[in-house]
Structure 1
Amino acid sequence: MKKKLIYSFILLAGLSLAACGGKGKTAESSTSAKHTEKTSQTTKGSTTKSSTTSQSSTNSSSASSETKTSESQSAVKSENNTPAKQADAVLSQLSSDFPNDRLPQAILTSRTAEYLTAATTSAADQGNFRILYYAEDHGIVVNDLAVNDLQPIASFEKKTYGSADAAASAVNQIIDNGGSQIDLGYGIKGYQQGAAGSSFLSWQEGNWSMVVRASNIGGEVAEPLAKEAVAYLETAMLPAPQNVGQISLTASVSDSYQTNSVVWQIGTTVYTIQHFDAIQALKMAVSTNQ
């Protein structure tokens, strides 16, 4: 009888322990589920935040384009990237966002020493868009809100008009053969005259009209920059305007990306490149042929 009581006690103790063990396992599973749910919510929140940050960039309709953009963004974020690799990733993403146009492939004054990034308008309108380029000392994702506080170094813009005549008029080509004649080399003659404290040196190359402005007040001279531009374009090919193109360069050194411009018309479309550096503006335009 005593032996049976001992066995009963052991059996009851075992059942109690089993019940406690089952309860502990259930609580652990519940905690794990809550943790998983919290992680899922955090990921969802991060995704939403990332989506909001990149709102101005293109929402690609194809899965392959989305994958390519994602890969480019990852490349931009990588801490192991060199400035050149990071620039390639940015340019690749921009080409993916705006596949119908040849975008500039040469942007920076010193590509090996600076990181390139950009901010764009929505790619939903492929006929009208604008890209602002930035050069910083660290990599920044395209369309990151941080660029709102930064100074652009260059821009590329596409604008579509209702007719070819309207587009040609928007180029605002200036042809001026007045003033004193100056030999710019390579058989090209320029014409220089002054107005309102500035001197303007103009010349023609094909459908392109070109002008260099220099400030008389600052003692600037337009001729050296004009000759440098002519020499460069002897070895490089600008995009061919259908009817008209206008290049306006400034001898002054400036931080404003709007200082120098290259504008040309193709059909009903007008393309505009701006850069704070005169020769780099030309190189940007030439690189659209690459």
Structure 2
Amino acid sequence: MKKNEKTLGLLLLAASLLAGCGSQSQSSSQTSQSSQAESAKKASSQASSKSAAKSASSSAKSSSSQTSSKSAASSSQSTSTSADRIGTLTSQLRAKLPGMLLPTADGLGQGSENLNVRYTSSASKNVVYYSVGTSPLALNDSQIASEKPYAVLTENKNVADASSLINYQEAKTSLPAVKIASGVTGTEEGAAGSTYLQFNQGQWSFVVRASNVEGQKPLPTAQKLLALYQQYGLPNATAKSSVQVDVGESLGSLNTVITWAKGSSVYQLNAHSTETAFKMLKSLS
């Protein structure tokens, strides 16, 4: 009997141990599954975050690309609009003023889209006024007369004595010499509160006037003038011609005056900017 009780006790102890091991195994399995689920959840979250970041980056690049494309298109459209504006007005002028030489470039750095043009015409003279307004107006619109022109092109027709209008200056040798650039020397003289610096190139005379009262110096302007001539050239003239520039540029001042003969006509371009004048004359046709 005691032996049976001992045996029964051992069996109960073994059963208890097995139950404990089963419980621990189940708990360990549940813990492992929970850990795996948590890892999977984190991996899924990280993948989702990466996917969202990638999508945002792609969207940003797409937006940037679209913005760049729109900007390029806008710039191209602006350039096209500027070219179309001067082209359209010049085409209309040719119909109104047949035979007159006209520029196909407005010479502007900005404001081309608001370029406006008006003209007057008679048997002896054609005058074309170029200005920039707040909006583009039709050729010869009455409102253009109130705008300050930045350039005025005049054709004097059937001129018998071109020299009387051109004011060409022969080179002077009796005055103090001034070096303008390598190989180019001018002469300088003072008169009536101004200093005049002159140099000659081919059949063109160039005169720069500086105001002594305002403390102006003619040499820097003369050097710029020579550089523009070398870069852009001047119209083919049939007689000796002239360029006269007053130091200082301002809207409406028209301080640059370029006069030349072509056939029986004498042309004159007055401009507020010397560079603008050269750009316009470069495109003359």
TM-score (structure 1 length as normaliser): 0.64
Map 1:251-266 onto structure 2 (within 5 A): 251-266=247-262
**Residue 244 of structure 1 is aligned with which of 240, 249, 253?**
240
Match of residue 143 from structure 2: 146
Map 1:5-154 onto structure 2 (within 5 A): 82-111=81-110, 114-122=113-121, 125=123, 128-154=125-151
* 8 Å Cα contact 1:194-1:200 kept in structure 2: yes
1:272 and 2:268 equivalent?
yes
Match of residue 169 from structure 2: 174
**AA matched with 1:205:** Q
Map 1:198-213 onto structure 2 (within 5 A): 198-213=194-209
| C-alpha deviation, 1:267, in angstroms | 3.3
SS at match of 1:263: strand
Distance change in 2, residues 1:286/1:113 (3 Å): closer
Runs of 4+ in 1 over 3 A off after TM superposition: 81-84, 111-114
Q: Distance in 2 between matches of 1:105 and 1:229?
A: 22
Bigger helix share: 2
Distance change in 2, residues 1:246/1:276 (3 Å): same
Which digits, 9 at most, give the CA deviation of each residue in 1:203-248, with x for residues without a partner? 1111111111111121211111111111122222211221210100
* 8 Å Cα contact 1:84-1:112 kept in structure 2: no
**AA matched with 1:85:** D
Which digits, 9 at most, give the CA deviation of each residue in 1:222-281, with x for residues without a partner? 111111111122222211221210100111223335321100012321001010112222
**AA matched with 1:148:** A
* 8 Å Cα contact 2:251-2:272 kept in structure 1: yes
| C-alpha deviation, 1:85, in angstroms | 2.8
Q: Distance in 2 between matches of 1:95 and 1:83?
A: 19
**AA matched with 2:88:** A
* 8 Å Cα contact 2:271-2:277 kept in structure 1: yes
Match of residue 217 from structure 1: 213
Q: Distance in 2 between matches of 1:162 and 1:233?
A: 26
Distance change in 2, residues 1:90/1:274 (3 Å): same
CA RMSD of aligned residues (A): 2.5
**Residue 154 of structure 2 is aligned with which of 157, 162, 175?**
157
| C-alpha deviation, 1:186, in angstroms | 4.4
Identity among equivalent positions (%) equals 26
TM-score (structure 2 length as normaliser): 0.66
**AA matched with 1:256:** G
Which digits, 9 at most, give the CA deviation of each residue in 1:6-35, with x for residues without a partner? xxxxxxxxxxxxxxxxxxxxxxxxxxxxxx
Which digits, 9 at most, give the CA deviation of each residue in 1:118-149, with x for residues without a partner? 11113x74x62110111123111110000121
Q: Distance in 2 between matches of 1:113 and 1:239?
A: 23
Q: Distance in 1 between matches of 2:218 and 2:127?
A: 30
SS at match of 1:218: coil
* 8 Å Cα contact 2:107-2:279 kept in structure 1: no
**AA matched with 1:174:** Q
SS at match of 1:288: coil
| C-alpha deviation, 1:176, in angstroms | 4.8
| C-alpha deviation, 1:162, in angstroms | 4.8
Q: Distance in 2 between matches of 1:263 and 1:182?
A: 24
| C-alpha deviation, 1:114, in angstroms | 5.0
Unaligned runs of 5+ in 2: 1-79
Q: Distance in 1 between matches of 2:81 and 2:104?
A: 17
| C-alpha deviation, 1:113, in angstroms | 5.4
* 8 Å Cα contact 2:168-2:240 kept in structure 1: yes
Match of residue 46 from structure 1: none
